Every structure is written in C-alpha cells, then in structure tokens.
Amino acid sequence: MPEAVQPTESVRQAEIEREQRHVDKVYARLDAVREEAERTHREGFGIAHARTPGSLVERDAMVHHAAQRLRALDAEYEGLVFGRLDLVDGEVRHVGRLGMRDDEHQPLVIDWRAPGAAPFYQATAEQPLGVARRRVIRSDGPKVLDVEDDLLDLAGAEAAGVSVTAVGDGALIASLARAKSTRMRDIVATIQREQDEAIRAPAGGVTIIEGGPGTGKTAVALHRAAHLLYRDRRRFEGGGVLLVGPSAVFMSYVERVLPSLGEETVELRSLGAVMDGVRSQRLDPPALAGIKGALRMRGILRRAVREAPTDAPRELRVVFGGQVLRVRERELANVRRHVGGRVQRANAARQEVRRALLDAAWAARPQGVSWERARFNEDVADSDAFVDFVPRWWPVRTPLDVLASLADPKRLARVGGRDLSPAEVSPLARSWSTVREDPSVADIALLDELRTMLGEPPAPPRKKDPYLLIDGVRELTSAADREFASRERYVRPDNYDGYAHVLLDEAQDVSPMQWRMLGRRGQYASWTIVGDAAQSAWPDLAEARAARDDALRGKRVRRFHLGTNYRNPAEIFEFAAPVVRRAVPDADLPVAVRRTGAVPEHREVTDLVAASRAAVDELLAAVDGTVGVISTAARRPEVAGWLRPDGRLQVVDGMQAKGMEYDAVLVVAPEELAAESAAGVRVLYVALTRATHRLITVGANDSWLNG
Ligand SMILES: Nc1ncnc2c1ncn2[C@@H]1O[C@H](COP(=O)(O)OP(=O)(O)OP(=O)(O)O)[C@@H](O)[C@H]1O
C-alpha cells in the first residue's frame, strides 16, 4: 500500500466532523422519507372508508408496501453510512446499507450492493480501480465515532486533491480487534475482495464457496442472499429464496447483522425444519445418524411403504349371487405386491387397488357359475363389506405412520433385508418407537422421502379467513391484522418446490438423504453452497458428494475459495490446525490474520469437574463476551450440571457448536470428542476453532494433540 502520512489528532477530528456533516444530511433525509412512508401507511387505512372491493385491495397493497418500507428503513438505521470512496477523478461516493438521494435526486449514499459500490470492496493498492482513498466510517446510530482510511493510489489522490493523510491503521484489523460482544459482528463495512467476488457472483447455476474455519463463509452466504434480492428482487422474491443452515447461527446474524433479509423475503430453515408439518432440533448419536442419512435408506423405505399396515385385515370376504367369496392372506399379499409395483404414490392408488381386489374376488368365484363380470364389479364394489375393507386394507398413510411402523424390529429386519446388518436393526427400531412425538433431525429427511413415495394425503380444511365480515364487507380488527392479512399473499404452499434460489450453509454435514430432500425443493433453482470438508461430521464423504451432484442435476458449477481466517487469532489456529491435518492431510487450512499473544493451553487433569469450573471462571474473567463450553453429546448434560450456563456461558456439544462463535472456549475432554465417531477428529477441529480470543482444553490426556 502507498506510504501515507500519519495524521495528528486534530486531523482525525476534522475528518470525523466532515463525515458527521454528511451523515447528518443522510439522517435528515431518512427522517423525511420515513415520514412519507408513515403518511402512506395512514392513508392506506383511510381508503377503507370507501368500502368497495377495489379499494380494499388497493388499501392492502398500500399498507403492505408502506409497512415494508418502514421496516426496511428502521432495520437499517444503525450505521446507515459506513463507507466513502474518493475516486481519482474527484468523485466522492458514500456507501451505506441503503441507497438514498436528496430532494434534487443527487445520490447521498449508494447501496452497498449497487455496482457503483463494488470498488469499495474490490479495489486494492495493486488494482485501485480508480479509487484514491477508501474510508470506513464507524458510527453509533447517527453519531460518527471514527474513520479508518486505506490510501490505494497516492499519485491519483494527489492529482484529485484528496488529502494524503490517511487516518487509522486499516479498517479490517481495527474491526477484528474490537470484536467483543455477544453478537455476531457486522462485516458489511469490511468485506474483503475474495469474499466480495463470491457475494457478487452471477446468480445462475451453482456457486460453491469453500474455505476453512472462520473465513466468513456464513457471513458471505447471507450477504450473497441480500445481494441477489437487491439485484433481482422480483425474481427472487417471487420464486423465493430458501436459506438452510444451523438456525441459531443464522438467526443471530440475520437479526443483528442483516435485518434487511426479513423473514418475508427469505425463508430461513434448519435441516430439521425443511419439511412442513414436522420439525426437530434433536440430533441422533453419530452412528445412528450415519445409518439414517445413507442412501440405502431409500430401498428400506420403499419396501416399508409396500408392506401391509400393522392392523390391515387378513381376508376379504364378499357375497355375490348367494355365494361367499374369500380372498385369503396369500392372494392379498400378491395383490399388494402387484399394485405396489405399478403405482408411484401409494396414497393415490385407491382406484388401482379396488380394481385389483375385484380381480382377486372374481378369481375366487366357484367353478361353473356364469356371472356377468360388469354386474359383479358394480355390485361387489358397492357392497358394505368391500367399501369397508378397502380403506382398512390400503389406508391413506402419513410418512409418520410408515416410519413408526418400523419400530417393530421384526418388520424392520424384513424390509431392511440386506441393507441393514442385524446389529443395526435394534437401535434403529428403538429410535423410531418415539418418532411420532420426537423425531430426530435425520428422521425429517426420511419423512420427506416417504412423503414423495406416499403422495400428499387429502388436503386439510382451508385456513380460516383472517378477515371478519362487518356489514357485509370483509374487514379486519386491528392494524396488526391488516398487515398480517396483506402479508398472506406471500405464503407458499406446503413443501413448495419452486424456489428461485437455494442457499446452503455448513453443506459438509448434509447427508445423502438430506441432499435428496433439498434437491426436491431446488429443482428449478440456482444454488449457493457453502462448506468446508475438513469440518464434516459425515463419515462417507464420497456418497454425500455423489448425492449432492444428483441433487444439482448437472447445473453449471462456479467455485470460490476463501483463504483468510478472521475469527481465530493465529495462536488458536496454530493449535487447532495440526489436529485436523493428521486426520485430513489435505485439509483446507486458512491463514489467521490476527495475533493476540494469548496462547491456548491444554491442561491434563484427573478431576475434570474442578478443572472445568476453574477454567470457566478464568475465561469469564478474561473476556467481556460469551464463553462456550464444548464436550461430546453424551457428556453435555453432565457438564451443564457442573457449571451454571446463562446468557454469557453456553454449554454445547460438538455438533451444536457448528458455525458458532464465542469470545472464549473451553473444550472439555477433547480426547472423547476425537473418539466419539468416525469423524470425531473433524468435530474436535470444529470445537477448537470457535474462539475469537481465548481457548483452554481440559482432559485426561493429550493423545488427540500429539496423534
Ligand atoms: N471481512 C470481514 N470483516 C470483519 N469480520 C469478518 C469478515 N469476514 C468474516 N468476519 C468475521 O469472522 C467470523 C467468522 O465468520 P463466519 O462465521 O462467517 O465464518 P465461517 O467460514 O462460516 O466459519 P466456520 O466454517 O468456522 O463456521 C465472524 O465473526 C465474522 O463476522
């Protein structure tokens, strides 16, 4: 970077005041725009007095748009202007969370997603892209606190009359060093070039973003969603954007960092909530999750659908022409096999079933009778015995009915066939004995697979109309109702499969069966897929990759790589990296950019309880923000009992730690995490890379550290 002159304090103050004057103008304009939106909101309600159907529709549209505008303005209030570009031709651009113009339509601030803001993220000293100086403005609400400059083109700056006095020592490092809070940090002002390229990549096809821990993959994924909506709102809002990832992490980013991704534009779901009507956050133990996620489950489920329901009648008995006709168990099994082999969706097979049963009953007629077949069909099909038999023998089943039927180990062993070893049958059957009340995250993908095999059950009764009828006019009771009703237009059908974009975080942990569930929803979509194979908890990476390729159905793939770790200080990452390198020699290891001087410490102890308590006290005293305590899933409840989790102190297991970030981390018994499953070392690596400032590990030995 070109040499900049060190500023004096008065120069810094003068620059802050200069920015304050501009920021004041922007907030004054924001107030005026807000006022305008509020007026529209009020007037929208006024239109209702006319009480014609047309006026009600117009009112809803006005109320909806005004409310949306107000929400966007309120959401982006904090740090509205965060950057400034001085171009070599003398032009000045302020960059912010939304675009705003003054009364004369001159830009006061441009949206960070607009093409004009791209140089703010992409310009470097080697390629200044016409930028003399880039400035990051740090504020608290409308008050400017500080500015940080990068001088990118000294000669250009001199030519443009820009002061060559650069204030501060670089916005990124300043931002990372400041990070001490319970919140995810806001990166919009310090997005780096490699991240920006992934954020702004074209929308079509599949964009795969890979990078090691802390490289900003989640942050980039969310900013990419915001960018897509900005560039082509109509397409992405219309079709919808589905964002899948660990919901706790997403929620904290979205609520605090990217409020403009309101829930009405983007659907945020965790893997346990992708299917409508059921949801789960409970993870199975790794071995069980491994079986439930594997592709061999498909065959098992298909056979389970074809099995007779547990309480199906064993004989069909009908009367015709004074004769009792019996279709016995074995013939019924043949009918079931025959129909099961022909129909795609079991719940839609009633016609086929009726026909096949009539054929079987006809075949059971005594020899020598000369009945008319058409008459036989009509009479038997209308008989009480037949009408009663069909829905009991071939009932409409829900995915939960079928999965719960596999809680019977004998039935499971039968449908499992060669796809399940005898040792796998009983833990699986046991886990499904409570599936109706408490399905696991892995079960959700199985239920979704069953949903497609069974077909949708008959539609439930229509939703209650949110309007009330007042004087014959559909009316609402409160402003909140009105807003709710106007939002209803954006509600998509259950298990919607027409998303315009699917964005998937922590993709390395998606099982093959989960890829199938996601693939069904994204068949017409473009995709963004974010992950790091070295952090995968999935045992068979090759099968998962093949399932991913299947879900993407040959779409064109574009790849981006992020190589800088912004979360961990170098001391922490240097401690964690060798652990994973032994298990995954080609792990994608990023470079950590920050040093704090605090070296992580492993304590070999015999009294785990006392050592954990002491370490937690130390960490709580050392940092202002959150402390995460990470152990195996089996040990987590016990560890929570030793400590007193509260807002600042969280106790999680290795899988729950995915994507999370804490100021300080204590890993309890890392040797147990490493041994917990086939992918244990990779999960331990996740645990060791969650801290922004301090890391301590306590355990019985250091086998995991020294291989
Ligand atoms: N350009 C940036 N400027 C400032 N902070 C950044 C930047 N990029 C990332 N960060 C911060 O680094 C941390 C890690 O980011 P994020 O959680 O998105 O990484 P990740 O790659 O998803 O991590 P992991 O794979 O370990 O879960 C976050 O606190 C984020 O705000």
**301 and 447 fall within a common domain:** yes
Task: Indicate whether 472 pLDDT > 90.
Answer: no
Q: Best mutation site among 184, 567, 568, 684 for ligand 1, i.e. most ligand atoms within 8 A of its Cβ?
A: 567
650 in Cβ contact with 620 (< 8 Å): no
Atom of ligand 1 nearest to the CA of 562: 21
Closest residue to atom 15 of ligand 1, CA basis? 216
From the CB of 612, is ligand 1 less than 6 Å away? no
- Tell me how far the alpha carbon of residue 214 lies from the centroid of ligand 1, in angstroms: 5
Closest residue to atom 5 of ligand 1, CA basis? 187
Question: Where does residue 54 rank: exposed (0-12), middle (13-18), buried (19+ CB within 10 A)?
Answer: exposed
The chain-wide mean pLDDT, for the chain, equals 86
- Tell me how far the alpha carbon of residue 568 lies from the centroid of ligand 1, in angstroms: 9
Number of domains in the chain: 5
pLDDT of amino acid 51: 57
**299 and 335 fall within a common domain:** no
- Tell me how far the alpha carbon of residue 681 lies from the centroid of ligand 1, in angstroms: 22
Distances from the Cα of 559 to the Cα of 119, 202, 362, 526, angstroms? 22, 12, 62, 14
The answer to whether residue 467 sits within a structural domain is no
Tokens of 113: 């997603």
Atom of ligand 1 nearest to the CA of 189: 3
Please report, rounded to a whole number, the percentage of residues in the chain having pLDDT higher than 70: 84
**158 and 20 fall within a common domain:** yes
The answer to whether residue 483 sits within a structural domain is no
pLDDT of amino acid 170: 62
Maximal CA-CA distance, the chain: 114
d(CA 443, CA 283): 9
The answer to whether residue 220 sits within a structural domain is yes
From the CB of 219, is ligand 1 less than 6 Å away? yes
Q: Best mutation site among 215, 626, 652 for ligand 1, i.e. most ligand atoms within 8 A of its Cβ?
A: 215
As a whole number, mean pLDDT of residues 661-675 equals 95
**327 and 293 fall within a common domain:** no
The answer to whether residue 443 sits within a structural domain is yes
**266 and 292 fall within a common domain:** no
**578 and 668 fall within a common domain:** yes
**48 and 145 fall within a common domain:** yes
What's the 3-state SS for 207-265?
A: EEEEECCCCCHHHHHHHHHHHHHHHCHHHHHHHCEEEECCHHHHHHHHHHCCCCCCCCC
From the CB of 507, is ligand 1 less than 6 Å away? no
As a whole number, mean pLDDT of residues 563-590 equals 93
From the CB of 661, is ligand 1 less than 6 Å away? yes
Q: Best mutation site among 173, 217, 568, 591 for ligand 1, i.e. most ligand atoms within 8 A of its Cβ?
A: 217
pLDDT of amino acid 184: 53
Coil, strand or helix at 464: coil
- Tell me how far the alpha carbon of residue 692 lies from the centroid of ligand 1, in angstroms: 10
d(CA 698, CA 677): 20
Could you count the other beta carbons within 10 Å of the beta carbon of residue 214?
25
- Tell me how far the alpha carbon of residue 575 lies from the centroid of ligand 1, in angstroms: 19
**382 and 434 fall within a common domain:** no
Residue 230 belongs to domain with CATH number: 3.40.50.300
Atom of ligand 1 nearest to the CA of 211: 21
**74 and 135 fall within a common domain:** yes
Contacts 24+ apart (CB under 8 A), 639-646: 639/612, 639/668, 642/609, 642/612, 642/613, 643/612, 643/613, 643/616
Q: 601 forms bridges with which residues in the sheet?
A: 696
Non-local CB neighbours of 31 within 8 Å, separated by 6+ positions: none
User: Final residue of a domain: which of 538, 562, 586?
Assistant: 562
CB burial string 561-578: b at 16+ within 10 A, e below: ebebbbbbbebbbebbbe
Q: Place 514 in a pLDDT band, splitting at 50, 70 and 90.
A: very high
Tokens of 307: 């099995």
Annotated binding site for ATP: 211-218
Q: Name the residue among 242, 274, 454 with its Cα closest to residue 348.
A: 454
User: Final residue of a domain: which of 134, 169, 204?
Assistant: 169
Could you count the other beta carbons within 10 Å of the beta carbon of residue 507?
27
- Tell me how far the alpha carbon of residue 121 lies from the centroid of ligand 1, in angstroms: 16
Between 128-137, 165-174, 442-451, 504-513, the lowest mean confidence (pLDDT) is in 165-174
The answer to whether residue 461 sits within a structural domain is no
The answer to whether residue 685 sits within a structural domain is yes
- Tell me how far the alpha carbon of residue 186 lies from the centroid of ligand 1, in angstroms: 9
The answer to whether residue 294 sits within a structural domain is yes
- Tell me how far the alpha carbon of residue 348 lies from the centroid of ligand 1, in angstroms: 48
pLDDT of amino acid 502: 96
Q: Place 7 in a pLDDT band, splitting at 50, 70 and 90.
A: low
What is the 3-state composition of the chain as percent helix, strand, coil, each rounded to the nearest 5? 50, 20, 35
**584 and 690 fall within a common domain:** yes
d(CA 609, CA 635): 12
Place of tokens 């590990």: 697
Render pLDDT for 540-562 as a digit per residue (tens, 0 to 9).
Answer: 888 889 999 999 988 999 999 99
d(CA 573, CA 568): 6
Q: Residue 594: in which H helix or E strand, if any?
A: strand 591-594
Domain that residue 372 falls in: 316-393
Closest residue to atom 27 of ligand 1, CA basis? 659
- Tell me how far the alpha carbon of residue 326 lies from the centroid of ligand 1, in angstroms: 69
- The dihedrals phi and psi of 81, each to the nearest 5 degrees, come to -110, 120
The answer to whether residue 177 sits within a structural domain is no
Q: Quote ipTM for the complex.
A: 0.99
**591 and 558 fall within a common domain:** no
User: Final residue of a domain: which of 393, 411, 442?
Assistant: 393
Closest residue to atom 24 of ligand 1, CA basis? 213
From the CB of 409, is ligand 1 less than 6 Å away? no
Render pLDDT for 24-71 as a digit per residue (tens, 0 to 9).
Answer: 999 998 888 888 877 877 776 666 555 565 666 666 666 666 676 677
Closest residue to atom 23 of ligand 1, CA basis? 214
- The dihedrals phi and psi of 100, each to the nearest 5 degrees, come to -150, 140
- Tell me how far the alpha carbon of residue 219 lies from the centroid of ligand 1, in angstroms: 6
As a whole number, mean pLDDT of residues 328-350 equals 90
d(CA 504, CA 456): 26
The amino acid at 267: E
651 in Cβ contact with 636 (< 8 Å): yes
CA atoms within 13 A on the CB side of 577: 18
From the CB of 82, is ligand 1 less than 6 Å away? no
Atom of ligand 1 nearest to the CA of 535: 25
Question: Parallel, antiparallel, or unpaired: how do β-strands 131-140 and 143-151 relate?
Answer: antiparallel
Question: What's the full length of the chain, in residues?
Answer: 707
Atom of ligand 1 nearest to the CA of 215: 21
Between 407-416, 464-473, 634-643, the lowest mean confidence (pLDDT) is in 464-473
As a whole number, mean pLDDT of residues 171-200 equals 73
From the CB of 257, is ligand 1 less than 6 Å away? no
d(CA 454, CA 301): 10
Tokens of 209: 């973003």
CA atoms within 13 A on the CB side of 434: 9
**115 and 215 fall within a common domain:** no
Closest residue to atom 13 of ligand 1, CA basis? 567
